[in-house]
């Protein structure tokens, strides 16, 4: 997800949603970013079931994943792979635009979990290397419409480029403590806007998203790495944060003009092993 130097599959059974010769994409990542949409929706119930069984909110507000239990369950491993396979059989551009966003965000999150499970046990996703590069983000890990994609492709070249919405960063989870939470239910086009706003509020109001050290504003490194997505300047990033902040954080944000420093914890978002 981040710079490492930093979900019957089709509702209604609509056959035109299946990726094939007639529904194949343009043959490149850019083909997925065109502003084109159909009327289709996708089913993510299988992902809901898995998240309900293997992800839980901790007292500190961080959603943690029971990777150990998931790895030990052949049924749950197979169910995750089957869910991913159900997604990659679809033609994303046949979905509505909100459903396309949900498709890509859910695919990213599901594949990230699968990548971690393949390497488990690990202390950090950055320990899963792509050659000499820390993290698995540049590795081609899934194929959609005949196009081999990396996690970076999905996040940066499809979601960020295709939607130009800073809330993309609250939708995808990089399996790390400091990342915005993995949602406890799969994203869906019908509830996408309110869901993204809720995810933004949850992250901004969590210490790992925004906090103060005395009078110094400390933010997640996401807001530095991707400052352009949030407006490009400290003032615009702070305005974005204030939009989602609760009091008294909102008042404190309105009283500052610059970001003092940023921080990020790459520890895996795993349920602690007792």
C-alpha R_g of the chain: 19
Domain ranges of the chain: 11-186
Q: For residues 134 and 272, what is the distance between their CA atoms, to the nearest angstrom?
A: 23
Q: Is 232 helix (H, G, I), strand (E, B) or coil?
A: coil
Decide which of 38 and 12 is more confident.
38
Q: Using one digit for the tens of pLDDT, what is the confidence trace for 78-134? A: 999 999 999 999 999 999 999 999 999 999 999 999 999 999 999 999 999 878 889
Eight-state DSSP code of residue 111? H
- CA-wise closest residue to 122 among 67, 80, 163: 67
Eight-state DSSP code of residue 248? T
Q: Which two tokens stand for residue 34?
A: 């065109």
Task: State the average pLDDT over residues 129-143.
Answer: 92
Lowest mean pLDDT among 36-45, 128-137, 161-170: 128-137
Cβ pair 244, 206 in contact under 8 A: no
> Is 207 a residue whose pLDDT tops 50?
yes
- CA-wise closest residue to 83 among 35, 30, 46, 126: 46
Q: In Å, what is the CA distance from 245 to each residue of 62, 67, 87, 168, 251?
A: 17, 31, 34, 18, 9
Which pLDDT score, from 0 to 100, does residue 19 have?
Answer: 47
Task: State the average pLDDT over residues 232-237.
Answer: 98
Q: Could you tell me whether strands 210-213 and 63-65 are parallel, antiparallel, or unpaired per DSSP bridges?
A: unpaired
Q: In Å, what is the CA distance from 106 to each residue of 4, 19, 239, 251, 272?
A: 21, 18, 28, 34, 24
Task: Give residue 274's pLDDT band: very low, low, confident or very high (50, 70, 90).
Answer: low
Q: Using one digit for the tens of pLDDT, what is the confidence trace for 211-223? A: 999 999 999 999 9
Q: For residues 224 and 219, what is the distance between their CA atoms, to the nearest angstrom?
A: 8
Q: Using one digit for the tens of pLDDT, what is the confidence trace for 3-37? A: 544 422 223 333 334 444 334 345 799 999 888 89
């Amino acid at each position: 997800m981040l710079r490492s130097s930093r979900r019957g599959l089709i509702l209604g059974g609509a056959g035109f949603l299946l990726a094939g010769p007639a529904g194949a994409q343009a043959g490149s990542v850019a083909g997925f970013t065109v502003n084109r949409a159909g009327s289709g929706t996708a089913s993510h119930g299988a992902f809901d079931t898995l998240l309900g069984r293997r992800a839980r909110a901790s007292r500190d507000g961080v959603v943690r994943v029971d990777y150990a239990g998931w790895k030990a369950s052949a049924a749950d491993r197979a169910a995750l792979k089957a869910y991913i396979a159900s997604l990659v059989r679809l033609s994303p551009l046949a979905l509505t635009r909100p459903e396309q966003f949900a498709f890509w965000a859910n695919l990213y999150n599901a594949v990230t979990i699968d990548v971690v499970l393949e390497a488990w046990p690990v202390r950090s996703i950055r320990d899963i290397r792509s050659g000499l590069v820390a993290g698995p983000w540049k590795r081609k890990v899934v194929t959609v419409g005949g196009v081999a994609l990396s996690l970076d492709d999905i996040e940066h070249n499809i979601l960020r480029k295709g939607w130009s919405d800073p809330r993309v960063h609250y939708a995808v989870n990089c399996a790390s403590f400091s990342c915005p939470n993995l949602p406890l239910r799969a994203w869906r086009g019908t509830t996408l806007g309110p869901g993204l706003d809720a995810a933004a509020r949850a992250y901004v109001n969590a210490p790992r998203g925004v906090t103060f050290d005395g009078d110094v504003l400390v933010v997640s490194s996401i807001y530095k790495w991707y400052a352009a997505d949030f407006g490009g300047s400290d003032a615009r990033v702070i305005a974005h944060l204030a939009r989602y902040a609760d009091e008294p954080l909102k008042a404190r944000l309105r009283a500052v003009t610059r970001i003092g420093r940023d921080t990020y914890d790459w520890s895996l978002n795993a349920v602690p092993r007792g």
